[in-house]
Protein backbone atom coordinates (compact mmCIF):
# COMPACT_ATOMS: atom_id res chain seq x y z
CA UNK A 1 0.00 0.00 0.00
CA UNK A 2 1.67 3.22 -1.07
CA UNK A 3 1.04 6.96 -0.83
CA UNK A 4 3.57 9.40 -2.21
CA UNK A 5 3.31 12.86 -0.75
CA UNK A 6 3.38 16.11 -2.58
CA UNK A 7 6.75 16.79 -4.13
CA UNK A 8 5.46 15.89 -7.55
CA UNK A 9 2.64 18.35 -7.27
CA UNK A 10 4.96 20.80 -5.59
CA UNK A 11 7.20 20.74 -8.65
CA UNK A 12 4.22 21.11 -10.94
CA UNK A 13 3.14 24.08 -8.93
CA UNK A 14 6.61 25.62 -9.08
CA UNK A 15 6.88 25.07 -12.83
CA UNK A 16 3.56 26.74 -13.34
CA UNK A 17 4.82 29.75 -11.47
CA UNK A 18 7.95 29.92 -13.57
CA UNK A 19 5.88 29.88 -16.76
CA UNK A 20 3.72 32.69 -15.53
CA UNK A 21 6.10 35.60 -15.84
CA UNK A 22 3.49 38.22 -15.08
CA UNK A 23 2.64 36.42 -11.86
CA UNK A 24 1.82 38.84 -9.10
CA UNK A 25 -1.30 38.42 -7.11
CA UNK A 26 -4.18 37.20 -9.10
CA UNK A 27 -6.70 34.70 -7.81
CA UNK A 28 -8.13 33.93 -11.28
CA UNK A 29 -4.75 33.36 -12.90
CA UNK A 30 -3.50 31.19 -10.08
CA UNK A 31 -6.72 29.27 -9.89
CA UNK A 32 -6.50 28.40 -13.54
CA UNK A 33 -2.94 27.21 -13.25
CA UNK A 34 -2.80 25.10 -10.14
CA UNK A 35 -5.99 25.78 -8.31
CA UNK A 36 -6.02 24.44 -4.79
CA UNK A 37 -2.79 22.57 -4.53
CA UNK A 38 -2.34 21.18 -1.07
CA UNK A 39 -1.43 17.84 0.41
CA UNK A 40 -1.06 16.06 3.71
CA UNK A 41 2.00 17.02 5.77
CA UNK A 42 3.09 19.63 3.24
CA UNK A 43 6.79 19.75 3.88
CA UNK A 44 7.21 23.49 4.36
CA UNK A 45 6.15 23.06 7.97
CA UNK A 46 7.79 20.56 10.30
CA UNK A 47 4.46 19.25 11.52
CA UNK A 48 5.77 17.08 14.31
CA UNK A 49 8.04 19.77 15.71
CA UNK A 50 5.22 22.21 15.27
CA UNK A 51 2.85 20.06 17.37
CA UNK A 52 5.45 19.80 20.12
CA UNK A 53 6.07 23.55 19.87
CA UNK A 54 2.34 24.28 20.28
CA UNK A 55 2.23 22.00 23.29
CA UNK A 56 5.09 23.89 24.96
CA UNK A 57 4.08 27.35 23.90
CA UNK A 58 0.52 26.96 25.16
CA UNK A 59 1.18 24.82 28.19
CA UNK A 60 -0.42 27.39 30.49
CA UNK A 61 -3.42 28.13 28.27
CA UNK A 62 -6.79 26.50 28.90
CA UNK A 63 -7.94 27.18 25.32
CA UNK A 64 -6.08 27.85 22.09
CA UNK A 65 -7.86 29.29 19.03
CA UNK A 66 -6.60 27.88 15.76
CA UNK A 67 -7.65 29.55 12.51
CA UNK A 68 -6.76 27.80 9.28
CA UNK A 69 -7.10 30.52 6.63
CA UNK A 70 -7.18 29.28 3.02
CA UNK A 71 -7.60 25.72 4.21
CA UNK A 72 -8.41 24.48 0.69
CA UNK A 73 -9.96 20.98 0.87
CA UNK A 74 -9.25 20.67 4.59
CA UNK A 75 -6.10 18.64 4.19
CA UNK A 76 -4.08 21.14 6.22
CA UNK A 77 -6.50 21.18 9.16
CA UNK A 78 -6.65 17.39 9.21
CA UNK A 79 -2.85 17.23 9.11
CA UNK A 80 -2.66 19.44 12.18
CA UNK A 81 -5.32 17.45 14.01
CA UNK A 82 -3.43 14.19 13.38
CA UNK A 83 -0.13 15.75 14.45
CA UNK A 84 -1.56 17.17 17.67
CA UNK A 85 -3.29 13.95 18.64
CA UNK A 86 -0.23 11.88 17.82
CA UNK A 87 2.10 14.01 19.94
CA UNK A 88 -0.14 15.23 22.75
CA UNK A 89 -2.72 12.47 22.98
CA UNK A 90 -6.46 13.11 22.55
CA UNK A 91 -7.02 14.52 26.01
CA UNK A 92 -4.22 17.13 25.96
CA UNK A 93 -4.98 18.07 22.35
CA UNK A 94 -8.60 18.94 23.20
CA UNK A 95 -7.92 22.59 24.01
CA UNK A 96 -6.79 23.20 20.42
CA UNK A 97 -10.14 22.12 18.95
CA UNK A 98 -12.32 22.86 17.13
CA UNK A 99 -10.00 24.31 14.50
CA UNK A 100 -11.75 26.96 12.39
CA UNK A 101 -11.01 26.43 8.72
CA UNK A 102 -12.06 28.80 5.95
CA UNK A 103 -11.47 29.19 2.26
CA UNK A 104 -12.84 31.26 -0.58
CA UNK A 105 -13.66 28.31 -2.78
CA UNK A 106 -17.03 26.67 -2.14
CA UNK A 107 -16.15 23.36 -3.77
CA UNK A 108 -13.05 22.98 -1.62
CA UNK A 109 -15.00 23.86 1.49
CA UNK A 110 -17.64 21.25 0.63
CA UNK A 111 -14.92 18.63 0.27
CA UNK A 112 -13.37 19.71 3.56
CA UNK A 113 -16.71 19.48 5.34
CA UNK A 114 -17.41 16.02 3.96
CA UNK A 115 -14.09 14.78 5.33
CA UNK A 116 -13.79 12.75 2.15
CA UNK A 117 -10.61 13.88 0.44
CA UNK A 118 -9.73 12.65 -3.02
CA UNK A 119 -6.08 11.87 -3.57
CA UNK A 120 -5.44 12.64 -7.19
CA UNK A 121 -2.30 11.14 -8.67
CA UNK A 122 -0.04 13.82 -10.05
CA UNK A 123 -2.10 16.57 -8.49
CA UNK A 124 -2.01 16.11 -4.78
CA UNK A 125 0.07 12.97 -4.40
CA UNK A 126 0.46 9.49 -5.76
CA UNK A 127 -0.48 6.67 -3.50
CA UNK A 128 2.50 5.43 -1.61
CA UNK A 129 2.06 4.61 2.01
CA UNK A 130 5.79 4.09 2.28
CA UNK A 131 6.30 7.80 1.70
CA UNK A 132 3.70 8.72 4.25
CA UNK A 133 5.86 6.75 6.64
CA UNK A 134 9.04 8.35 5.39
CA UNK A 135 7.85 11.93 5.38
CA UNK A 136 5.64 11.99 8.38
CA UNK A 137 6.75 9.23 10.69
CA UNK A 138 3.18 7.95 10.54
CA UNK A 139 3.05 4.24 10.00
CA UNK A 140 0.36 2.90 7.65
CA UNK A 141 -1.50 1.75 10.68
CA UNK A 142 -1.30 5.13 12.37
CA UNK A 143 -2.73 6.92 9.35
CA UNK A 144 -5.50 4.36 9.18
CA UNK A 145 -6.43 5.19 12.78
CA UNK A 146 -7.82 8.44 11.43
CA UNK A 147 -9.19 7.54 7.99
CA UNK A 148 -10.79 4.82 6.00
CA UNK A 149 -9.64 4.33 2.42
CA UNK A 150 -12.19 5.11 -0.30
CA UNK A 151 -12.63 4.45 -4.01
CA UNK A 152 -9.98 1.80 -4.38
CA UNK A 153 -7.51 3.88 -2.32
CA UNK A 154 -8.05 6.98 -4.47
CA UNK A 155 -9.34 8.88 -1.50
CA UNK A 156 -9.56 8.90 2.26
CA UNK A 157 -12.51 9.54 4.54
CA UNK A 158 -11.84 10.95 7.98
CA UNK A 159 -13.59 9.21 10.82
CA UNK A 160 -16.38 11.18 12.49
CA UNK A 161 -14.49 11.71 15.74
CA UNK A 162 -11.73 13.47 13.73
CA UNK A 163 -14.09 15.34 11.40
CA UNK A 164 -15.84 16.82 14.41
CA UNK A 165 -12.65 18.55 15.54
CA UNK A 166 -12.80 21.14 12.76
CA UNK A 167 -15.43 23.55 11.41
CA UNK A 168 -15.20 24.71 7.79
CA UNK A 169 -16.78 27.76 6.19
CA UNK A 170 -16.59 29.57 2.87
CA UNK A 171 -15.30 33.06 3.55
CA UNK A 172 -12.68 35.51 2.34
CA UNK A 173 -9.81 35.68 4.81
CA UNK A 174 -9.96 39.48 4.79
CA UNK A 175 -13.64 39.49 5.73
CA UNK A 176 -13.14 36.87 8.41
CA UNK A 177 -10.27 38.69 10.08
CA UNK A 178 -12.27 41.89 10.15
CA UNK A 179 -14.76 40.08 12.41
CA UNK A 180 -12.29 38.43 14.76
CA UNK A 181 -11.82 40.05 18.16
CA UNK A 182 -8.82 42.30 18.47
CA UNK A 183 -5.91 41.18 20.65
CA UNK A 184 -7.03 37.60 20.96
CA UNK A 185 -4.59 35.81 23.21
CA UNK A 186 -3.36 32.25 22.62
CA UNK A 187 -4.25 32.26 18.94
CA UNK A 188 -2.70 30.51 15.97
CA UNK A 189 -3.29 31.77 12.43
CA UNK A 190 -2.24 29.40 9.67
CA UNK A 191 -2.07 31.61 6.55
CA UNK A 192 -0.06 29.33 4.35
CA UNK A 193 0.57 29.41 0.64
CA UNK A 194 -2.16 31.94 0.09
CA UNK A 195 -0.62 35.43 0.23
CA UNK A 196 0.32 35.31 -3.43
CA UNK A 197 -3.38 35.20 -4.27
CA UNK A 198 -3.76 38.66 -2.81
CA UNK A 199 -2.96 41.97 -4.43
CA UNK A 200 -0.20 43.97 -2.77
CA UNK A 201 -2.57 46.29 -0.93
CA UNK A 202 -4.54 43.25 0.25
CA UNK A 203 -1.35 41.65 1.56
CA UNK A 204 -0.66 44.82 3.51
CA UNK A 205 -4.19 44.76 4.87
CA UNK A 206 -3.88 41.11 5.87
CA UNK A 207 -0.62 41.70 7.78
CA UNK A 208 -2.15 44.65 9.61
CA UNK A 209 -5.30 42.70 10.47
CA UNK A 210 -3.27 39.75 11.75
CA UNK A 211 -1.28 42.09 13.93
CA UNK A 212 -4.47 43.59 15.35
CA UNK A 213 -6.07 40.18 15.87
CA UNK A 214 -3.08 38.70 17.67
CA UNK A 215 -2.98 39.39 21.38
CA UNK A 216 -0.45 38.00 23.82
CA UNK A 217 1.06 34.63 23.02
CA UNK A 218 -0.25 34.46 19.44
CA UNK A 219 1.43 33.27 16.28
CA UNK A 220 1.13 33.33 12.50
CA UNK A 221 2.39 30.53 10.27
CA UNK A 222 3.40 31.01 6.62
CA UNK A 223 4.11 28.58 3.79
CA UNK A 224 6.99 28.30 1.40
CA UNK A 225 5.26 30.18 -1.39
CA UNK A 226 4.34 33.06 0.85
CA UNK A 227 8.04 33.62 1.41
CA UNK A 228 9.13 33.32 -2.20
CA UNK A 229 6.18 34.84 -4.02
CA UNK A 230 4.68 37.47 -1.77
CA UNK A 231 5.61 40.18 0.68
CA UNK A 232 4.29 38.23 3.66
CA UNK A 233 7.60 37.94 5.50
CA UNK A 234 8.55 41.63 5.37
CA UNK A 235 4.99 42.71 6.04
CA UNK A 236 4.81 40.58 9.19
CA UNK A 237 8.10 42.04 10.45
CA UNK A 238 6.77 45.51 9.73
CA UNK A 239 3.67 44.71 11.77
CA UNK A 240 5.39 43.67 15.00
CA UNK A 241 5.96 39.99 14.32
CA UNK A 242 9.25 38.22 14.84
CA UNK A 243 10.51 34.88 13.59
CA UNK A 244 10.61 31.98 16.05
CA UNK A 245 12.97 29.02 16.08
CA UNK A 246 10.45 26.99 14.06
CA UNK A 247 10.73 27.75 10.34
CA UNK A 248 7.86 29.85 8.97
CA UNK A 249 6.38 30.51 12.42
CA UNK A 250 6.15 34.15 13.59
CA UNK A 251 5.15 35.46 16.98
CA UNK A 252 3.52 38.75 17.72
CA UNK A 253 5.50 41.07 19.98
CA UNK A 254 3.07 42.60 22.46
Residue from 193, 203, 239, 248 touching ligand SAM (CB under 6 A): that is 193
Cα angle for residues 144, 148, 151 (degrees, 5° grid): 130
Q: Which DSSP string do the residues of 200-241 spell out, in sequence order?
A: HHHHHHHHHHHHHHB-TT-EEE--HHHHHHSSHHHHHHHTTE
Q: What is the H or E stretch that residue 157 is in?
A: strand 155-158
Cα angle for residues 224, 55, 88 (degrees, 5° grid): 105
187, β-bridge pairs: 65
When the beta carbons of 192 and 233 are compared against ligand SAM, the nearer one is 192
Tell me: does residue 77 bind ligand SAM (CB under 6 A): no
Contact set for ligand SAM, span 87-106 (CB under 6 A): 103-105
Q: How far is CA 247 from CA 23, 44, 118, 132, in A?
A: 25, 8, 29, 21
Residue from 4, 108, 131, 136 touching ligand SAM (CB under 6 A): that is 108
Tell me: does residue 38 bind ligand SAM (CB under 6 A): yes
Tell me: does residue 173 bind ligand SAM (CB under 6 A): yes
Only segment of 138-146, 148-156, 187-195, 243-251 that touches ligand SAM (CB under 6 A): 187-195
> Is there a contact between 242 and 253 (Cβ–Cβ < 8 Å)?
yes
CB of 233 to ligand SAM, least distance (A): 15
CB of 31 to ligand SAM, least distance (A): 7
Residue from 7, 8, 17, 27 touching ligand SAM (CB under 6 A): that is 27
When the beta carbons of 17 and 61 are compared against ligand SAM, the nearer one is 17
HEC readout, 57-80: HCCCCCCCEEEEECCCCCHHHHHH
Residue from 64, 70, 213, 219 touching ligand SAM (CB under 6 A): that is 70
146, β-bridge pairs: none
Return the SS3 of 124. coil
* Residues 6+ positions from 81 with CB-CB distance below 8 Å: 93, 97, 99, 146, 162, 165, 166
When the beta carbons of 45 and 54 are compared against ligand SAM, the nearer one is 45
Tell me: does residue 172 bind ligand SAM (CB under 6 A): yes
Tell me: does residue 5 bind ligand SAM (CB under 6 A): no
Count the residues of the shown chain that bind ligand SAM, applying the rule CB under 6 A.
Answer: 20
Residue from 86, 100, 163, 192 touching ligand SAM (CB under 6 A): that is 192
In the DSSP assignment, the letter for residue 168 is E
When the beta carbons of 18 and 59 are compared against ligand SAM, the nearer one is 18
Residues that bind ligand SAM (CB under 6 A): 27, 36-38, 42, 70, 72, 76, 103-105, 108, 172-174, 192-194, 197, 223
Amino acid sequence: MNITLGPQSFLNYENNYKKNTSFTSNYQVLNKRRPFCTYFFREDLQWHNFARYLNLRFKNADKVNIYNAACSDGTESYTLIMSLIKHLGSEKAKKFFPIKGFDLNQRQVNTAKSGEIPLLPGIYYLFDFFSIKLHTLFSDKKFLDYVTLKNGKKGVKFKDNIKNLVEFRRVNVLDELAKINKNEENSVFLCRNMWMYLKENEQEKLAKMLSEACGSNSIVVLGKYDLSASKAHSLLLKNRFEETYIDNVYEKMV
